[in-house]
Chains A and B, each alone.
Chain A
């Protein structure tokens, strides 16, 4: 008992000595600040056309950013082992599942699918929460399991929680969210040590399933064809992608200048959310786009460094999952706006307008920062 008390107090002392990873924190703040500026610029067209104040989107996003930073700071001070506790994990699963099912019945329409639940003035997107929950659940599940993950059966078993959430999200017609959840599950299983060949052949086996999923909803087929040749149906399904490409093409090397985007005035759909990267390309050019990408690259690389020097298997997988979530969304978002993949609704972390996504992103950062306090410690 005494020994346990001593160990706890010494650990507390160690934790208090340890600092967060400032590089990671500063990169986050830089992205967040940059994101706020771009939300302000990109939303001005939408605000004007709706006869609203041009500041309205910026202010709402700023409120969420400040709230998110408070939460982030709070979480960074909580020991990451908080997320390892059984009750926390179970509670997280429970809340997420309830929200995911609830959204099927009371969800708000948006972009051809129902993804939001309104709580008074606040709307939240359960799939964003599901992403976070998936990472926590998978980290615990993988780090607790004692069997040999190199066995195929074990690997499949390990994948189950992620697949469970992915299917739930898919029921809400949110294909992109489901894909991200599935991918982050696969990344974690792979990071936990499974054989690449096993994953690969399982993936191949799932191709027919993907085909069915697409065939069930005709609009997905259209999105895929519009990716192959967006100009084939310029006024219809290709419209969004074409407008995005026009924005990118208009930007050239240094862009038309901050705030000067013409495409955001009624041409670009969702200039302040899914297509905010197109506005960056148009206003700040390739230079601005590369700046954003580099900030994310540094953030992700720093994140993976934290994962590599994390104190234990759980924290390492936790950080790996959180960072992968961000990296996946960045890559998929840019792929969509440059028409490198079929068009689907993926937001750009820290940039796209949207309170719940921003909050979840900052929560993820908070968790990573909390782990970063204890890196380099040999156990």
Chain B
């Protein structure tokens, strides 16, 4: 064995040097990777190591103007699974069997879903919590239940076209749900979790809570909407309306839409379901693409918000505005006399009045009340094509109203270069151009609102969950179209239309309804299809609400607006005005017709006595359990207003006595309610009609504190004060 020499020591040092060089090379890479490229690698590493799971946010609630819930969320459950865990446990087929039993899903589909090497799969979305509980009771390892939410509409089909509906991911698809999506949807939260491949347990790292969406308060009133919908449905049945109907009720001063309905309607909770039996049969006869095309066409038709989307020829309802133009331009006076002989020659065309034989010699006011076509053609000609179009534009018919629901149409008008005498004449009585119901009602707001047209809107405010306002939609005046004076004049004329003209079917005692009927023939002319409508407002002296009823193709006995739309309008307004507690202002003639003569039923058998009250406008209360009426209060022959109660006693017992309350200072309805609650009747004495302001009781007989029998009539006298609340 040899000892090592200096030579080999030098060599070993060289080997160390070699290793040092290699180490420096490697170290430089380590520094480069860890520090220079480090942040980049780190970011990419985090990207692959984590995944984000969105937590759906709760959608905001939609309320009506009084806080009634129109759209809310109901709790549902989504079932998910960790398939690789299930595979590892060897329970794929067992789970598939059990779950298919509860969920009703195909077993093979479930098996396919469970039999894969991934960490997450949706088994069934949005199931009923009760069904979910059955799954929970099984306690299957690797199957998870997540709370989820689903949109629920408590009133079903109510205001369906306004509220709109949502899709499977709770995204708004139509109506307010769609337009206010960004407010309603909220901010989804996130769970950022470790992605550990091969499906081992996850450790949550980061949780960002979801934010509930904002609540939307509509201007709609559920009660009014309900009145409107049931009347519209009744009208469509009574008048055999073929192509649907629409109605809008708007606050005359603010432009708030109180009700907006389209018939037929659909259930918001199942918007994709066809319920019409005839249509169902028609669809069943088809198949494949043809069927689905037809189905989606029909559904789209059903979802159309007719009041906003459909345009039609307004007919005579437009004449109110032509009258306003003429008055504003000063081309006519109220007492000017016109002569209608049943038609008029314009250029070379003879255009008929709707009334064969004509109206004869009439004043301007009478002509409007009678809806005389030649009168309006004359007015149109006097205003002139240029000015006519100026007002047409000012009333907003050339543009959308700026309403908040989607799909708004703006109608169509003549090409201005061809807007000549004949076109001007026909336009003057509301034919040969189209507008939407919403545009017309908006234009009418200029009449009701002293010339200032207001923008219609259906959302009142947007409120956060903690009650703070996010946005408030105030009244927005679009523009002053006519003067205050003109608007007042037109309103008074229109009241005459209802009280003694073509619109008398819309007359309601005490509420000073004003309005105009409309009947327009659909194109092609002569096919017997019409649009019947009525546009009006009340009370005439200080309008609170405007309404428009449009019946598309009434095919019953009459197609005239006055015979179909006007009564429907009347029924709706009667309900709405009373619901809104608008004070009746009876004229003397009205008061005279209000009273009913009380029948004398003393000594009659109970059943016979009751029969006397049917159809009398009076109510009755029977006290005691005898078979015959022994006495009655008030006595037979006295007169009482509609809705008063006659008390019938059937036994020889002492009449029940009550103490008369103090009514002084009460309004008519307050006094009425107070007395009715005590079993007393009210009678208004010599009310000074035509006065304005609020009527308050200033005199009563008998005086307060007197003991009287139930049923006694208390006479009250009102005085008017101008203290507007």
Q: B284 near A: Cβ within 8 Å?
A: no
Contacts A192-B8, A312-B4, A324-B15 hold; do A250 and B42 have CB atoms under 8 A apart? yes
Q: A308 near B: Cβ within 8 Å?
A: yes
CA distance A41 to B544 in the complex (A): 79
A252:B38 contact, CB within 8 angstroms: yes
B30:A327 contact, CB within 8 angstroms: no
B15:A320 contact, CB within 8 angstroms: yes
A266:B198 contact, CB within 8 angstroms: yes
Contacts of B197 in A (CB 8 A): 49, 265-267
CA distance A73 to B344 in the complex (A): 129
B34:A286 contact, CB within 8 angstroms: yes
CA distance A248 to B45 in the complex (A): 10
Contacts of A246 in B (CB 8 A): 41-42, 44-45, 48
Considering only residues 139-165 of chain A, those with a C-beta below 8 Å from chain B are: 143
A304:B38 contact, CB within 8 angstroms: no
B48:A308 contact, CB within 8 angstroms: no
Contacts A48-B200, A265-B200 hold; do A312 and B33 have CB atoms under 8 A apart? no
Contacts of A353 in B (CB 8 A): none
Q: B525 near A: Cβ within 8 Å?
A: no
Q: B9 near A: Cβ within 8 Å?
A: yes
B26:A249 contact, CB within 8 angstroms: no
| The stretch of A104-112, A173-181, A331-339 that contacts the partner chain | A331-339
The CB with the most chain A CB atoms within 10 A, among B15, B33, B37, is that of B33
The CB with the most chain B CB atoms within 10 A, among A48, A51, A245, A247, is that of A245
| Least Cβ–Cβ distance between A348 and chain B, in angstroms | 12
Q: B49 near A: Cβ within 8 Å?
A: yes
| The stretch of A127-135, A202-210, A212-220, A293-301 that contacts the partner chain | A293-301
Contacts of A248 in B (CB 8 A): 30, 33-34, 38, 41
Output the nearest chain B residue to A301 by Cβ-Cβ distance.
B16
Contacts A192-B8, A262-B194, A338-B26 hold; do A187 and B40 have CB atoms under 8 A apart? no
CA distance A339 to B35 in the complex (A): 15
Q: A15 near B: Cβ within 8 Å?
A: no
Contacts of B2 in A (CB 8 A): 143, 312-314
Output the nearest chain B residue to A300 by Cβ-Cβ distance.
B19
Contacts of A300 in B (CB 8 A): 16, 19
CA distance A198 to B558 in the complex (A): 119
B14:A190 contact, CB within 8 angstroms: yes
Contacts A301-B16, A312-B3 hold; do A193 and B22 have CB atoms under 8 A apart? no
| Least Cβ–Cβ distance between A298 and chain B, in angstroms | 13
Contacts A252-B42, A334-B30 hold; do A190 and B9 have CB atoms under 8 A apart? no
Contacts A262-B194, A314-B1 hold; do A249 and B40 have CB atoms under 8 A apart? yes
Contacts A263-B45, A293-B23 hold; do A245 and B196 have CB atoms under 8 A apart? no
Q: A281 near B: Cβ within 8 Å?
A: yes
Output the nearest chain A residue to B48 by Cβ-Cβ distance.
A267
A338:B29 contact, CB within 8 angstroms: yes
CA distance A193 to B48 in the complex (A): 53
Contacts of A211 in B (CB 8 A): none
A338:B33 contact, CB within 8 angstroms: yes
Q: B88 near A: Cβ within 8 Å?
A: yes
Contacts of A285 in B (CB 8 A): 34
Contacts A301-B16, A331-B22, A340-B26 hold; do A247 and B45 have CB atoms under 8 A apart? yes
B25:A340 contact, CB within 8 angstroms: yes
**Chain B 53-64, CB within 8 Å of chain A: the 1/0 string?**
000000000000
Q: A232 near B: Cβ within 8 Å?
A: no
Q: B704 near A: Cβ within 8 Å?
A: no
Q: A124 near B: Cβ within 8 Å?
A: no
Contacts of A245 in B (CB 8 A): 33, 37, 41
The CB with the most chain A CB atoms within 10 A, among B4, B7, B42, B194, is that of B4
Q: A307 near B: Cβ within 8 Å?
A: yes
CA distance A98 to B691 in the complex (A): 125
Considering only residues 242-298 of chain A, those with a C-beta below 8 Å from chain B are: 245-252, 262-263, 265-267, 281, 285-286, 289, 293, 297
Considering only residues 39-68 of chain A, those with a C-beta below 8 Å from chain B are: 45, 48-49, 51
Residue from B15, B22, B32 within 8 A of A190 (CB atoms):
B15
Q: B208 near A: Cβ within 8 Å?
A: no
Output the nearest chain B residue to A49 by Cβ-Cβ distance.
B198
Q: B293 near A: Cβ within 8 Å?
A: no
Contacts of B9 in A (CB 8 A): 308
Considering only residues 309-333 of chain A, those with a C-beta below 8 Å from chain B are: 310-314, 316, 320, 324, 327, 331
A286:B15 contact, CB within 8 angstroms: no
| Least Cβ–Cβ distance between A252 and chain B, in angstroms | 6
| Least Cβ–Cβ distance between B13 and chain A, in angstroms | 8
CA distance A312 to B220 in the complex (A): 106
Q: A379 near B: Cβ within 8 Å?
A: yes
Contacts A193-B11, A246-B44, A340-B25 hold; do A263 and B30 have CB atoms under 8 A apart? no
Contacts A301-B16, A312-B4, A327-B19 hold; do A249 and B41 have CB atoms under 8 A apart? yes
Q: A191 near B: Cβ within 8 Å?
A: yes
Contacts of B48 in A (CB 8 A): 246, 267
Q: A24 near B: Cβ within 8 Å?
A: no
A265:B194 contact, CB within 8 angstroms: yes
Q: A84 near B: Cβ within 8 Å?
A: yes
Considering only residues 185-208 of chain B, those with a C-beta below 8 Å from chain A are: 194, 196-198, 200
CA distance A244 to B702 in the complex (A): 102
Q: B605 near A: Cβ within 8 Å?
A: no
Q: B523 near A: Cβ within 8 Å?
A: no
Considering only residues 2-54 of chain A, those with a C-beta below 8 Å from chain B are: 45, 48-49, 51
CA distance A286 to B29 in the complex (A): 12
B19:A331 contact, CB within 8 angstroms: yes
CA distance A335 to B46 in the complex (A): 24
| Least Cβ–Cβ distance between A126 and chain B, in angstroms | 26
Output the nearest chain B residue to A277 by Cβ-Cβ distance.
B30
| Least Cβ–Cβ distance between A48 and chain B, in angstroms | 5
Output the nearest chain B residue to A249 by Cβ-Cβ distance.
B41
Q: B31 near A: Cβ within 8 Å?
A: yes
Residue from A191, A286, A310, A324 within 8 A of B35 (CB atoms):
A286
Contacts of B131 in A (CB 8 A): none
Residue from A192, A311, A324, A339 within 8 A of B33 (CB atoms):
A339
A265:B196 contact, CB within 8 angstroms: yes
CA distance A178 to B34 in the complex (A): 30
CA distance A246 to B31 in the complex (A): 14
Q: B582 near A: Cβ within 8 Å?
A: no
**Can you list 16 contacts pairing A with B, beta carbon distance less than 8 Å?**
A187-B15, A190-B11, A193-B7, A193-B8, A246-B41, A246-B45, A248-B33, A249-B33, A249-B37, A252-B35, A262-B49, A263-B45, A266-B196, A286-B35, A314-B1, A316-B8
- Which 10 pairs, one residue from A and one from B, show the smallest C-beta to C-beta distance? A249-B41, A266-B197, A246-B45, A340-B29, A338-B29, A249-B38, A49-B198, A313-B2, A265-B196, A313-B4
Extra pairs beyond A190-B15, A191-B11, A251-B34 (20, CB < 8 Å) = A84-B1, A245-B37, A245-B41, A250-B38, A252-B35, A262-B49, A262-B194, A263-B45, A265-B194, A266-B198, A267-B197, A293-B23, A304-B12, A312-B3, A313-B1, A320-B15, A331-B19, A331-B26, A334-B26, A379-B3
List residues of B whose CB falls within 8 A of some A CB.
1-4, 7-9, 11-12, 14-16, 18-19, 22-23, 25-27, 29-35, 37-42, 44-46, 48-49, 88, 194, 196-198, 200
